[in-house]
A and B are shown apart, each in its own frame.
Chain A
Amino acid sequence: MSPGLLAQSLVLGILTGGMYALMAAGLTLIFGVMKVINVAHAAIIVMGAYLSLTLFRHLGIDPLLSVLLLIPVFLALGALIQWSVVNRLAERDITLTVLMTFGFAIILEGLQGAIWTSSYQGIKTGYSLESFQLFTLYIPVVRLISAGISLLLLAGLYALLTFTKLGRAIRATIQNRTAAQLVGVDVRLVTTVSFAIGIAIAGAAGPLLGMLFTFYPATHWLWIGKLLAIVVLGGLGSLRGAFVAAMLLGIAEQVTSVTLALGWAPMIFYVFLFGVLVVRPQGLFGAVERQSL
């Protein structure tokens, strides 16, 4: 294989990985704070793609602008879902939330099919197929923009978690919910806000997904497996881990596609995931949880 093709696939892998990181960020945040596995996470991303498509087709709103418009919408939606349903179930039995989010994913899928039909869709703007040449490499513009927006949003999330009081409260809740309560953190408020932020990030990823990949109502089943694998490899609840794992997946997929065979592309990542979990069951950046007997 030529070095040029390897370099091209590496660049594509890094850009794709940036997109995966954004898609997985909300999922790992929600798990970290609430221990809730949000099976509907990918369905929410696809919903963001459909809403962006509608805004683009009917109102001419550029999908990049709809990223900003959808954040408050999904923030409110996330807060509503968490407050009205998830919180109540989580307090009774956390495992029920898996069933609840599974059901929510199916409802969203049905809703999308009823409104937008089951046809394949894609958000195609005037610059969708543009690319520029950098030495011998072709850089697809949309992929570069998507990766850039993903990094910006992730940097914003990182800053929120690191430098704000709310962020410290969220991290404290992730590390030890009881201890956080003891030092005065309003854990219920923190969980509601965290869930809402997680859903808002998912919604923001929707337009980017729609610009890069074809989608249809059942697409979320293809994505949720990938996203859960990223979160598990990175370490449950670790934003940094999700970012590294997403990059690894993006690069593994693209490089494997051109060096081995296309069928190996998804498998290589899962083989790596399996190997890491054997050595580090907590994932690359996950903390070992201590439990009393």
Chain B
Amino acid sequence: MAFVEGAGGAPAVFQRKFKYIFFVQPAVAEKQADPFVNYILSLPADQRPKSAAYPQQDDPFVSATEDGAQARLEAAGIKTAYKQVYPPTQTDFASIAAAVKHSGADIVLGGTIFDDAVAQVQAYSAIHYQPKAIYFTSGPSTTGPFKQALADKVSGIMTGDGWVQSSKEPGNAKFVADYLKLFPNKDNLVPGEAAEGYSVGQVMAAAVKATQSVDNTKIANWLHAHKVSTVQGEIGWDELGRPQGSYLLEQWQNGIVHVVAPKGDPNKDADPVYPKPDW
């Protein structure tokens, strides 16, 4: 069966070498933080952080992203000051925040889902820990609830994402308008997860239309050979269904999410703020 999916990019998904899986995001999990790492490594030597902390949830997607970023940062001489994996049931982040602060880490790469990203920010803020940059694997792009939970504490927080609401990709404006018509909200925000789900539909629709068939083998063969235009950009896959693109680096600035990297991306609408504003 051709399995076109929008939320399964961890290495474990592709290790069994299935040929009918297609992950509909710009890149796989281990590359999610690449734009953040690229940005950190592009900083002048006197501004570049010397150490990083990696508090992360026990989750295959999160660990792939964190491990990928940690390997590159360590190779570039940025020491690991703190690394701990916490269970998904962790609700109290006070001791984690204390340990991260005492580690003296300049930046934090939080391996988070959503609620733990919120809880980490609250815990860091409560003990006056001010990292120069903070990146979460998930959470900040769930814009409405994230802003509601943290208010102005969102400022400066970064994340990697495949889609931004203001994206200039073909069809995105109509998707955003239709979503807000169906699910109006006071902040006029569309969650990234909605774009991921919509992209899956776009991919399936394109494959069925092109092959004039719902035959799984025909659909899979066509997807292996073609790129598809989605609201997340044009996506193409390797033989194991891994997307071959790159994520965007986003940062909360002045209460909204901006695309701050990669340079040259048509969706980039602001420069990164570093160090981030104090909480």
A158 at the interface (CB under 8 A from B): no
A131 contacts B by Cβ under 8 Å: yes
* A140 and B87 within 8 A (CB): no
CB-based contact B98/A130 at 8 Å: no
Chain B 88-101, CB within 8 Å of chain A: the 1/0 string? 01111011101100
Given A130-B126, A214-B119, A5–B96 Cβ distance below 8 Å? no
- Residues from 1 to 33 in A contacting B, C-beta threshold 8 Å: 2, 4-5, 8-9, 12-13, 16
A124 is an interface residue with CB less than 8 A from chain B: yes
* A19 CB to nearest chain B CB (Å): 10
Could you mark each residue 80-124 of chain B with 1 if its beta carbon is under 8 Å from any beta carbon of chain A, else 0? 000011110111101110110010000000000011001100100
Q: A140-B126, A222-B89, A262-B85 are in contact. Are A257 and B95 (CB under 8 A)?
A: yes
Instruction: Using CB atoms and an 8 Å cutoff, list the residues of chain A in contact with chain B.
Output: 2, 4-5, 8-9, 12-13, 16, 119-120, 122, 124, 128-131, 133, 138, 140, 143, 212-215, 219, 222, 253-255, 257-258, 261-263, 265-266
B168 at interface by CB-CB < 8 Å? no
Residues of B within 8 A of A138 (CB): 98, 126-128
CA separation between A262 and B126, bound complex, in Å? 20
The number of residue pairs between A and B whose CB atoms lie closer than 8 Å in the complex comes to: 84
B8 within 8 A of A: no
**Smallest CB-CB separation from A260: which chain B residue?**
B84
One of A2, A120, A261 near B115 (C-beta < 8 A): A120
Contact (A140, B127) CB under 8 Å given A2-B102, A262-B84: yes
Nearest B residue to A256, CB-CB? B95
Question: Which residues of chain B come closer than 8 Å to A143, judged between CB atoms?
Answer: 94
Is B95 a contact of A214 with CB atoms below 8 Å? Answer: no
25 examples of A-B residue contacts, CB within 8 angstroms: A5-B102, A8-B127, A9-B95, A9-B99, A120-B118, A122-B149, A124-B151, A129-B122, A131-B126, A131-B127, A138-B98, A138-B126, A140-B126, A140-B127, A143-B94, A213-B92, A214-B118, A215-B91, A222-B89, A257-B95, A257-B96, A257-B99, A258-B95, A261-B85, A262-B90
Is B153 engaged at the interface, CB distance under 8 Å to the other chain? yes
Bound CA–CA A38/B263 (angstroms): 58
The number of chain B residues touching the other chain, given as a range, is: 20 to 34
User: Least Cβ distance of B182 to chain A in Å?
Assistant: 17
With A12-B95, A13-B95, A122-B118 known, 9 other A-B pairs at CB within 8 A are A12-B98, A16-B94, A120-B145, A138-B98, A140-B94, A254-B95, A262-B90, A263-B86, A265-B95
- Bound CA span A4–B127, Å: 13
Q: Do B91 and A16 touch (CB < 8 A)? A: no
Chain B residues positioned under 8 Å from A254 (CB to CB)? 94-95
User: Once the chains bind, are A258 and B86 in contact (CB under 8 Å)?
Assistant: no
Chain B nearest CB: distance from A141 CB in Å?
A: 8
Asked if A261 and B84 sit within 8 Å, CB to CB, the answer is yes
A16 to B92, alpha carbons, bound, how many Å? 9
What residues on B are CB-neighbors of A261 within 8 Å? 84-85
Closest 6 CB pairs of A and B: A257-B95, A120-B115, A138-B127, A262-B86, A213-B91, A5-B102
Question: Nearest Cβ in chain A — how far from B185, in angstroms?
Answer: 13
Distance in angstroms between the alpha carbons of A257 and B93 in the assembled complex: 10
- Which B residues touch A266, using CB under 8 A? 87
Measured in the bound complex, the distance between the Cα atoms of B240 and A216 in whole Å is 37
**Does residue B211 face the partner (Cβ distance < 8 Å to A)?**
no
- Whether, in the assembled complex, B188 has its beta carbon less than 8 Å from a beta carbon of chain A, the answer is no
- Chain A's closest residue to B90 (CB) is A262
